[in-house]
Amino acid sequence: MSTYALRRVLQTIPIVFIISILLFLMVRAAPGGPLTAARRNPNISKEQLEAIEERLGLNDPLMVQYGRWMGNMLRGEMGESIKFRRPVSEMIGERIPNTLILVGASFFVTLLFAVPIGILSARKPYSLFDYSMTTITFIGQAIPVYWLGLGLIVIFYVTLKNPFTGDPLFPVGGMNSRGQEGNLLDTLWHLVLPVSALSLGWIAWYSRFLRSSMLDVLHEDYVRTARAKGLGERLVYYRHALRNAILPLVTLIALDLPSLFAGALFVETIFSWPGMGRLFWDAAKGRDYPVLLGVVMITAVLIIVCNIIADLAYGWLDPQVKYE
C-alpha cells in the first residue's frame, strides 16, 4: 500500500513538470515580464534597465531561468503581488481555508442528497419518484451555476424578507456579518446560499450516475446470490450493491475536481466569498500575473493531491485492486 502510494506520487511528477513548463512559458511571454513597471518609469534609464535585467537573470538561457523559477516554486516562493506588494504565497495561504470550507461543505451536501436520491431511484426505477428525479436532475445539470447564484440572490436577498425584522432572508457577501468574525454559526448561515448554488448541479449529476451504476450492479450474480440466501433488501442494497456501485463514483469525483473548483470561482465571485477564486478574479482584473500564476499552480497541486487520495480510496473500497 505505501509503496503504491509512493509510486502514485512519483507518477505525478511528469504531470507537474508539463504544467509548470506551460505556465513558465506564459510568464515569460507575458507582456513586459516582471519589468513592466520599471519600463514605464521615465526616471529609469536604459542602462539601469539592462542592469536590472542582468541582476534578475533575464538574459540567461531559458532552461536556466526555468530551473530557477521552478526551484522558487518548490520552495513556495511565488513572487510578489504587483498590486499589493505582498508575497503571493501569503495571500493565497489566507484564502485557501475559505475555499476549502466552501468546496468541502458543498461536497458534503452533494453526497448527502445525491447518494439517497440515486439509491431510491434505482430501487424503484421508472416509478413516479424516479421520473420526477430524472426531470429535476436534467434541469439541475443544465442550470449554469452563475445564473443559479444570481437567482438565489434575487429570491432570498432582494425579494423575500424576514417578516419580523424586514431584513433579507439570507445573507449575501462575505463569510460573516460585521462583528461576527469567527462565529461558526454565522459562517454556516452565510454558507447556505453559496453552497446551494454550488451543489445543485453536482447533486443532479451524481445522483444520475449512481442510479445507473446501481442498476448495472443489481443485475450481477452476487446480488442474486445475496437475495437467494435470504438476505433482506436493505442488506442487499446497502451492503452488497452500494459498495460496488459507488466505486466508479470515486473515479468520477476525482476527475470532476477541476470543475468543482471552477464552480467555486463563480460562486465566490457572485457571493463575494473571500476564497482563492475571488482572489483570482480580482487579480485577473488587475493583470496581477504573479498572483494568477500562483493560484493556478496551487489549484493544480490541490487537484493532483485529491486525485491521489481518490486513487487510494478506490483501492481501499475495492479489494480486487492489488498494489504491487
Partner 1 sequence: MNEALTTVREQSMTTLILRRFFKHRLAGIAVGVLAVLVLASLLAGLSPYNPTDQEPTNHFEEPNSVHWFGTDELGRDVFSRILYGGRVSLAVGLISTFLSIFLGVVVGALSGYFGGLLDATLMRITDAFLTFPTIFVLILLGAFLREQQLFILQNSIFVVIIIIAALSWMWPARLVRGLFLVLREKEFVAASRALGGSNTRLIVRHILPNCVGPILVSGTLQMASAIITESGLSYLGFGVQPPTPTWGSILSTAQSQIFRAPWLGFFPGFMIFITVMAINYIGDGLRDAFDPYVIHTEK
Question: Which parts of this chain interact with partner 1 (CB under 8 A)?
Answer: 14-15, 18-19, 22, 26, 29-31, 138-139, 141-147, 150-151, 153-154, 158-159, 255, 258-259, 261-262, 265-266, 269-270, 280-281, 284-285, 287, 292-293, 295-296, 299-300, 303-304, 307
- Positive or negative, the Cα torsion across 219, 225, 228, 232? negative
Residue closer to partner 1 by CB (options 242, 297) is: 297
Judge whether 139 and 231 are in contact, CB under 8 Å: no
Judge whether 174 and 275 are in contact, CB under 8 Å: no
| Alpha carbons 136 and 219: distance in angstroms, whole number | 26
Residue closer to partner 1 by CB (options 26, 37) is: 26
Question: Smallest distance from the beta carbon of 146 to partner 1, in angstroms?
Answer: 5
**To which H or E segment does residue 20 belong?**
helix 2-29
Structure-block grid coordinates of residue 37? 513597471
Helix (H, G, I), strand (E, B) or coil at 166: coil
Residue closer to partner 1 by CB (options 139, 188) is: 139
Outline where DSSP puts E strands in 4-149.
none
Residue closer to partner 1 by CB (options 112, 154) is: 154
Question: Smallest distance from the beta carbon of 46 to partner 1, in angstroms?
Answer: 21
SS3 content of the chain, % helix, strand, coil (to 5): 75, 0, 25
Judge whether 98 and 190 are in contact, CB under 8 Å: no
Residue closer to partner 1 by CB (options 28, 86) is: 28
Question: Smallest distance from the beta carbon of 159 to partner 1, in angstroms?
Answer: 7
Question: Smallest distance from the beta carbon of 310 to partner 1, in angstroms?
Answer: 12
Question: Smallest distance from the beta carbon of 300 to partner 1, in angstroms?
Answer: 6
Query: How far is CA 180 from each of CA 7, 39, 59, 190, 220, rounded to the nearest angstrom?
Result: 46, 45, 52, 11, 54
Residue closer to partner 1 by CB (options 183, 212) is: 212
Question: Smallest distance from the beta carbon of 89 to partner 1, in angstroms?
Answer: 17
